[in-house]
Homo-oligomer: A and B are copies of this chain.
């Protein structure tokens, strides 16, 4: 099979795409299965620099584009376009990829809200393009193991699940302090709130493993309506900005399998407590015949797309080979194989759940899905 020729919108010298998404493509086995042929960034200088860097690393040409996504989308040497830009620009870029008939990688949180994501999923279906979305947590060996245990019936009928997670202070999003780079995420209309991003990864994981949610009752609260802007060293610049997105999301509900769910995603914290004391991730799944406990003391543990927690089944720790930093590689591999990765249809399900949680919090009532 000839390699999938991939073009990146938003791959630059630093940031998520350059540290997490692109590197696995440069190594075997992916370096035989994918070929980076083009990049597109916001300005010509960064495009030239990035293209030159990857051309040098790969020993094959990488075409630089900038400005409009049309150019990279119409490049005949590109099969799949990866979009990894600010969420506020996801829709315009992703829709042009689909319209151009190219396959699409779209970073989570997919569209800005349910409506955009729904439009993208419909367009992709209509156009017949393949999609993959940056929900790599389901590729994690621990979460795969948890799913296998549950699917096997080993712990019996699932009675309940309880998950609490905490955005790590260092991320400077959704909290009392924000950096210039992250200042957009505290505003609901930008589509990258704590619930959209961190909550989305967690809920995608939970529903991937336990199945769909039937109803939710939610409490959302914005405890930091004014955030201080900090510089790259974390020092306040003196500027403040207004935020309206929830910094705390607590949800109860019922899954379609009858299990009761409790999820609490805690943001906005800059406390002294890190690690275990801060309880960055604790996820319990109780079945009639056994209990699973998933836990991590790593401050970044709630980032389940690349962090691997510890797994306990009925009190025994289960060691699983591999760790979460390879989840992006695993997702690219699954895309080649054609199975097991999250696509826009999967993203749409999670966005529908997130939208229900937001509506429940706003309207103060149970929302049935």
Q: Please list the residues of chain A having a beta carbon within 8 angstroms of any beta carbon in chain B.
A: 155-156, 159-160, 162, 164, 166, 176, 215, 217-219, 221, 223, 247-248, 250-254, 258, 260-264, 266, 268-279, 282, 284, 286-293, 312-316, 360, 364-366
Q: How many copies does the complex hold?
A: 2
Report if A286-B166 is in contact (Cβ < 8 Å); known contacts: A159-B223, A219-B217: yes
**Closest chain B CB from A295 CB (angstroms):** 9
When distances are taken between beta carbons in the complex, the residues of chain B under 8 Å from A250 are 160, 162, 252-253, 260-262
Beyond A277-B293, A365-B365, 9 extra complex contacts between A and B, CB < 8 Å:
A159-B268, A160-B264, A162-B266, A260-B266, A262-B262, A271-B291, A273-B313, A273-B315, A276-B312
When distances are taken between beta carbons in the complex, the residues of chain B under 8 Å from A289 are 271-272
- C-alpha gap A273/B284 in the complex (Å): 12
* CB-CB nearest 5 A-B residue pairs: A273-B291, A250-B252, A277-B315, A364-B366, A262-B264
5 contacts between A and B (CB under 8 A): A159-B266, A250-B262, A271-B290, A272-B290, A364-B366
Report if A276-B258 is in contact (Cβ < 8 Å); known contacts: A159-B223, A360-B217, A366-B365: no
Q: Are B314 and A293 in contact (CB under 8 A)?
A: no
When distances are taken between beta carbons in the complex, the residues of chain B under 8 Å from A279 are 162, 282, 284, 291, 293
- C-alpha gap A216/B268 in the complex (Å): 21
- C-alpha gap A271/B292 in the complex (Å): 11
Q: Are A273 and B314 in contact (CB under 8 A)?
A: yes
Q: Are A260 and B364 in contact (CB under 8 A)?
A: no
When distances are taken between beta carbons in the complex, the residues of chain B under 8 Å from A292 are 277
- C-alpha gap A264/B164 in the complex (Å): 11
Specify which of B217, B268, B270, B276 is in contact with A217 (CB 8 Å cutoff).
B217
Q: Are A260 and B312 in contact (CB under 8 A)?
A: no
- C-alpha gap A292/B269 in the complex (Å): 13
Q: Are A271 and B288 in contact (CB under 8 A)?
A: yes
Give the one of A248, A287, A312 with max B CB within 10 A.
A248
Q: Are B252 and A270 in contact (CB under 8 A)?
A: no
When distances are taken between beta carbons in the complex, the residues of chain B under 8 Å from A282 are 279, 282
Specify which of B221, B258, B270 is in contact with A254 (CB 8 Å cutoff).
B221
